[in-house]
Structure 1
Amino acid sequence: MEQAVRADRPHALTTTLAAFEVTATSPSSHHARSWLRAVVGGEVVGVAELELPLTENTDVAWAEVHVLPGHRRQGVGRRLWEALVERARAAGRTRIGGEVSVDVDVAGAAHEFARATGAVERHREDHLLARLPVPGSPVHPAYEVVLWRGRCPEEHRASYLAMRNQMNADAPTGDLDLEPEVLDDARLSASEERLTRAYDVRVAAARRRSDGVFGGYSLLFVPHGTDYGWQDDTLVMPEHRGHRLGAALKAANYADLPAEVRHVHTWTAPDNTAMHRTNTALGFRVVEHMYEMDVAIA
């Protein structure tokens, strides 16, 4: 997978071996995953992954297909795709979705392959990259920043769950028809346990000084043993917007990173102008376009 992805995506964020091992050896109760490989002459030339949501969106399967450049346009990707479709149908799924990322400077075959399967673009986000350090962004004086790593402290969990579920409900999905993931304490705990085995998980949250109410958070992952991080959610609750808390939370998280972490990845929909502007001001630049696509298989 690493070789196939890097061939035409120099800025791609790929799964580390540690993260893949956790996924492969510790099954989640909310997602079932399986992997396929294509072998030609004793050499693995392609791989594929199928993810089946088990809680929400149980009509969907999520797929990835990767083929080494020297073996493309020979039917390898098509055979892997057909095998994924067969398994998805057997699991009662009626559509398959996936992400297709294209470098802004390097031509790649992923988008063309996805369209050849009949997949239709439903949503687009820009993949942005920043080199650390980034410019500082002070927090509004009415708020203070609370930082934690790994498991959310017990005294913050109710607020954190409310913000996480707000983020899941608000996250832009374009024309994708998806149910938002709903977290409770048990599901959050299981996710935190799995993630901390492969990532340094860092959260910066904004707490209003006058009443202790949390108004937003920013979630960052640093894969163990790497020199980069990737920005996951950043949310400011509706009643706390207008104070540049998103920029302040991101900047606080990045400033707290160890010196060896030199880059941060993030993704933002182009029409999310406020967050795109925030990211640009922090020094992020667009390196890829990511398309979320799906196709009916019923």
Structure 2
Amino acid sequence: MHIDALDPTDAAARAVWHDVMERSVRADRPHALVTTPAAFEVTATSPSTHYDRTWLRATVDGTVVGVAELELPLSENTDVAWVEVQVLPSHRRQGVGRALWEALIERSRAAGRTRIGGEVTVDVDVAGAAHDFAVAMGAVEKHREDHLLADLPVRATPVDPAYEVVSWRGRCPDEHRGAYLAMRNQMNADVPVGELELEAAVVDEERLAASEERLMRAYDVRVAAARRRADGTFGGYSLLFVPHGTDYGWQDDTLVMPEHRGHRLGAALKSANYADLPPEVTSVHTWTAPDNAAMHRTNTAMGFRVVERMYEMEAAVRG
């Protein structure tokens, strides 16, 4: 077995890496939300100034049988390395995952990182080895979320008459950018992280613009925001991604600013986004912490059901 780094300039190698990743994930996760080839191409060929990424391969007799990703934050949380490890079912329990993990640890240590973390997701009905593998590598659970799925259409929630819905696709219009930045940063400050000790990302105009440009190359980006009629103040937003060429969307942020809560704006904004989707989009994915009772009730009322459990795991990088 040989471990090496993917050459991100090699299109054929990128395609093989993504294929192995997707087949490994889907082997025991029928409801998995996997990065599309188009999205992976953007990430692999257009490096971000806020993250340094490396993709590793495990090969046996010249065939790629396992892959891993290493993401090193450069702007916040510079003591952390985020990782993923995937191995084809035919080569599991043969040391491939452990070899990739050890390579990730070595690179994380060399980059001065003291913690290594990542998401481990398991299907609620199909037995999978991902969580057991993470524990065997010394990782401990720090946060948990449910992965929920809904078939469209969902039950609609009307917006409170005191508010109007303002929607856009792709780049946020100039006239809304100040309010949108304030809400994005409130979301980053409020997002549940369990026992993870993380510094919230701060989004400024430059960072927002770069993110929008990259995302639009792989996704139909849709935002629905609530604006109070009385004074024009924005009270919340919901961000939805539809990967190009797919039949599903995935729910990213939904935030209601503290002084605007109690009006069911979160459900109304989600409903507005979903109602505007083209007919070929037939389902939506979302994630909610199991102890977030209010959002769980909202999602269940809209028709979402739990299909997977996602665990945020963390391990120490020892010298």
The structure with higher relative contact order (CA 8 Å, sep 6+) is 1
Q: Following the alignment from structure 2 to structure 1, what is the Cα–Cα distance between the partners of residues 62 and 70? A: 23
Alignment of 1:155 with 2:192, yes or no, is no
Task: Indicate the SS of the match to 1:277.
Answer: helix
Task: Write the letter of the residue equivalent to 2:152.
Answer: L
Match for residue 57 of structure 1 among 61, 77, 98? 77
Q: TM-score, normalised by structure 2?
A: 0.93
Structure 1 residue aligned with 2:233: 213
Task: Write the letter of the residue equivalent to 1:24.
Answer: A
Q: Following the alignment from structure 2 to structure 1, what is the Cα–Cα distance between the partners of residues 294 and 234? A: 21
Match for residue 266 of structure 1 among 286, 292, 313? 286
Match for residue 170 of structure 1 among 190, 193, 197? 190
Structure 1 residue aligned with 2:247: 227
Alignment of 1:122 with 2:142, yes or no, is yes
Match for residue 153 of structure 2 among 133, 142, 154? 133
Match for residue 204 of structure 1 among 190, 212, 224? 224
Q: Following the alignment from structure 1 to structure 2, what is the Cα–Cα distance between the partners of residues 234 and 106? A: 29
Structure 1 residue aligned with 2:275: 255
Task: Indicate the SS of the match to 1:212.
Answer: coil
Q: Following the alignment from structure 2 to structure 1, what is the Cα–Cα distance between the partners of residues 56 and 299? A: 37
Task: Write the letter of the residue equivalent to 1:197.
Answer: R
Match for residue 301 of structure 2 among 272, 281, 288? 281
Shift of 1:292: 0.2
Shift of 1:42: 1.9
Structure 1 residue aligned with 2:115: 95
Match for residue 237 of structure 1 among 229, 239, 257? 257
RMSD: 0.4
Structure 2 residue aligned with 1:142: 162
Task: Indicate the SS of the match to 1:161.
Answer: helix
Structure 1 residue aligned with 2:51: 31
Shift of 1:43: 1.4
Task: Indicate the SS of the match to 2:214.
Answer: helix
Q: Following the alignment from structure 1 to structure 2, what is the Cα–Cα distance between the partners of residues 32 and 154? A: 30
Task: Indicate the SS of the match to 2:313.
Answer: strand
Identity %: 81
Q: Following the alignment from structure 1 to structure 2, what is the Cα–Cα distance between the partners of residues 94 and 108? A: 28
Match for residue 133 of structure 2 among 113, 133, 137? 113
Shift of 1:275: 0.8
Task: Indicate the SS of the match to 1:24.
Answer: helix
Structure 2 residue aligned with 1:82: 102
Structure 2 residue aligned with 1:20: 40
Q: Structure 1 runs of 4+ off > 3 angstroms?
A: none
Q: TM-score, normalised by structure 1?
A: 1.00
Task: Indicate the SS of the match to 2:252.
Answer: strand
Q: Deviations over 1:12-39 (max 9, x none)?
A: 0000000000000000000010001111
Structure 2 residue aligned with 1:194: 214
Alignment of 1:246 with 2:266, yes or no, is yes
Alignment of 1:5 with 2:9, yes or no, is no
Shift of 1:128: 0.1
Q: Following the alignment from structure 1 to structure 2, what is the Cα–Cα distance between the partners of residues 143 and 238? A: 15
